[in-house]
Structure 1
Amino acid sequence: MNFFSYYSCREKVKIPKTKPYITLIGAGMNATTITWDDTAATSLSTLKSATFSVMSLGFVAKDIAFENTAPPPPPGAVGRQAVAFQISGDHSALYNCAFLGAQDTLYDHKGRHFFKDCWIQGSIDFIFGDGLSLYESCVLYAIDTPSGSLTAQKRKTADENTGFAFLNCTVTGTGLVLLGRAWGAYSRVVYLYTHLDVVILPGGWNDWGIPSREKTAFYGEYKCWGRGADIHNRVAWSHQLSDREAAPFMSTSFIDGRSWLSSVS
């Protein structure tokens, strides 16, 4: 998909904790873009590299694109993380938005979030963080890279209620990617009713080079289809979910959405 903008705003934006319940509405993800080009090296941290940062409660965005135009990093590059959008605020919803970048595009840092009908584009760990988030009917687009990963979820303990669920999504692109890497010891990611294109590497999942995480991370797939959904070469420690195991991830109840979504939408 080619993105172009009728209106492009080139600046870094940060919404602080003291500014809750802000709604941002554009003219469409192909029409309104907020863009910048910082990296972890130029801004001195991955968090600070974000083009757009949200720290506040109850943020809503509709019909807008968030972009980091820093070029994709070569293999082994240091400090090239380049966040397009970072969210640390609780009770946030994003509809028909695009998140455009390469390494570390969308920093789903912490809090409960709902992403609906969004386009998320990147190469390495391009959805990452320790949020509790439901991605529904989104497109995850892997750009060219020797190999990358869609997610790096950072759940740290068994008692921590965080994780990413992808429901009725599409995974496609021109690169090759894993479904996820275990950034946290108890990393939790599931894909449900999702079309997985040929871009998915056969093993599917990675333990971050720490074999003990194979015993604690929870990675699952449920009724996915497409050339990338072939389970024959999946790592043995991932899960093909039963109906009962998939049920908790299948609605906004996963993010306690019934208690807050109607108030911010």
Structure 2
Amino acid sequence: MKPKLLLLILLANIVANFSSPFNSSITLTVVSDEAYTKWVKQMGGGCSFKHSDLFDRAKNKFKPCKTIKVDKNPRLGDFVSVQKAINSLPLVNFCRVVISISAGTYREKVEIPATMSYVCLEGADAEKTIIQWDDTADRIGQNGQPLGTYASATFAVNSPYFIAKNITFKNNAPSPPSGALGKQAVALRISADTAAFISCRIIGAQDTLYDDRGRHYFKDCYIQGSVDFIFGNGLSLYERCHLHAKTNSYGALTAQKRESSLEETGFSFVHCRVTGSGALYLGRAWGSFSRVVFAYTYMDKIITPRGWYNWGDKTREMTVFYGQFKCSGPGSDFGGRVSWSRQLTQQEAEPFISLDFIDGHEWLC
């Protein structure tokens, strides 16, 4: 048996022993620091992100076949509502459609179905073109049941090859008091592969951006929230984004939900900026194999010295992959970080800091 495979089996047995309520005795296996380091590298950056079985080879389309105008003045556009413009498209769409949205605040809840590929939304300016709603997870839906976090989204994308530029997606439900239940209020949910958001603003409080699944690219975006305000199980690259916390107590920037070492998912933040109020964890381990990397990122003093939280489960400390690489600012000091996070080397950081992380050269160019 290969040494790495044997090591993984031994470590899996340790985790299983700690996790099971039926084990009255626990046998600990001593693993050397060198072996553990090799294992962590394999969990984090040792595998290839290219052409995974989980993702098809992407073939994007950029030349538009149709352009639709949305304007609050019916004389100046084809539609006065973003959702009505989307509903006008074929349910199964095969060509790039550009929906141009004039300045204004569009108070509506919008969803793009899974079959409606190649939709592009272009606002006049992110400060001026705003799509907003105020649902929360505990709000009662049409079926008489609470909406839940998934359905609380102001703007939900279920189709591949989506692009948004110069738009604000906002959930303006009030910020909940500490410890309140059912107040998740998603501004944007992306539940499809190969989506890009350029110069957008994504604003909310608890659970602002549901980065659910698929490969995603966020560039020059402003993202604001309080608790777990970027969460989900996407494979996503955030480049030159401004991440702003707005809380009077403890908050968390990320809650990444990778549940297995076989999942090629994770969040990478490159050349970003983290600011705000309160005390902020860089991430909480929502998934047992949660994976988040910050590289070349400025961190304000709001970052807690420990940096990361294990979600109240110490076994996750053995399987998560949390790393920093060449970050700056008063909140970037690695000295007080939890022992199970990593200060990455150039080689360890390399898989996370370019478009290759999300196969971006296939579908962004």
SS at match of 1:41: coil
Instruction: Indicate which of 267, 291, 313 corresponds to 1:164.
Output: 267
Structure 1 CA distance for aligned equivalents of residues 117 and 248 of structure 2: 38
What does residue 116 of structure 2 align with? 19
* Counterpart position of 2:354: 251
Instruction: Say what the alpha-carbon RMSD is for the aligned residues.
Output: 1.0
Distance 2:278 2:207 in 1: 15
Give the distance between the partners of 1:159 and 1:24, measured in 2 at CA.
34
Post-superposition shift, 1:6?
A: 5.0
Find 1:65's aligned residue among 147, 151, 168: 168
Unpaired runs of 5+ residues, structure 2, are: 1-101, 142-146
Alpha-carbon distance in 2 for matches of 1:63, 1:148: 27
1:145 & 1:186 partners in 2: Cα distance? 29
Deviations 1:85-119 (A, max 9, x none): 00011011110000000000000000000000000
Using the alignment, how far apart are the partners of 1:27 and 1:176 within structure 2?
A: 35
Structure 2 residue 236 is the aligned partner of structure 1 residue 236 = no
Q: Which moved more, 1:17-26 or 1:37-46?
A: 37-46
Find out whether 1:141 has 2:141 as its counterpart. no
1:145 shift after superposition: 2.9
Structure 1 residue 31 corresponds to structure 2 residue 128: yes
CA distance in 2, matches of 1:89, 1:40: 21
**Once the two structures are superposed, what CA deviation does each residue of 1:214-249 show, in whole Å capped at 9, x if it has no partner?**
000000000001000111111010000001000001
> What amino acid maps onto 1:35 in structure 2?
Q
Distance 1:131 1:6 in 2: 30
Partner of 2:327, secondary structure, is coil
Over residues 140-184 of structure 1, what are the superposed CA-to-partner deviations in whole Å (9 max), with x where a residue is unaligned?
000023110000000000010000000000000123210000000
2:146 is the alignment partner of 1:49: no
SS at 1:155's partner residue? coil
Q: Residues of 2 paired with 1:259 and 1:173: CA distance?
A: 35
Q: Distance in 2 between matches of 1:83 and 1:145?
A: 20
Match of 2:203 in 1: 100
2:306 aligned partner = 203
- Return the alpha-carbon distance in structure 2 between the equivalents of residues 88 and 28 of structure 1: 25
Would you say how many aligned residue pairs link Structure 1 and Structure 2? 258
Q: Distance in 2 between matches of 1:54 and 1:175?
A: 31
Match of 1:126 among 218, 229, 246: 229
Please state whether the residue corresponding to 1:125 is helix, strand or coil: strand
Residues of 2 paired with 1:117 and 1:176: CA distance? 24
What SS does the aligned partner of 1:213 have? helix
Aligned mates of 1:198, 1:55 — CA distance in 2: 37
Q: Please, what TM-score do these two structures have when normalized by structure 1?
A: 0.96
SS state at 1:248 partner: helix
Write out per-residue CA displacement over residues 164-218 of structure 1, whole angstroms, 9 at most, x where no aligned residue.
0000000001232100000000000000000000111111000000000000000
Other-structure match for 2:212: 109
Q: TM-score, normalised by structure 2?
A: 0.70
SS at match of 1:46: helix
Query: What code does the residue aligned with 2:326 have?
Result: K
Distance (whole Å) between structure 1 residues aligned to residue 244 and residue 103 of structure 2: 22
Q: Provide the rounded CA distance (Å) in 2 between the counterparts of 1:234 and 1:151.
A: 16
Where structure 1 has 5 or more consecutive residues not aligned to the other structure, the ranges are none
Letter in 2 for 1:142: A
Partners of 2:310 and 2:331 in 1: CA distance: 19
Task: Report deviation, 1:75.
Answer: 1.2
Structure 1 outlier segments of 4+, above 3 Å? none
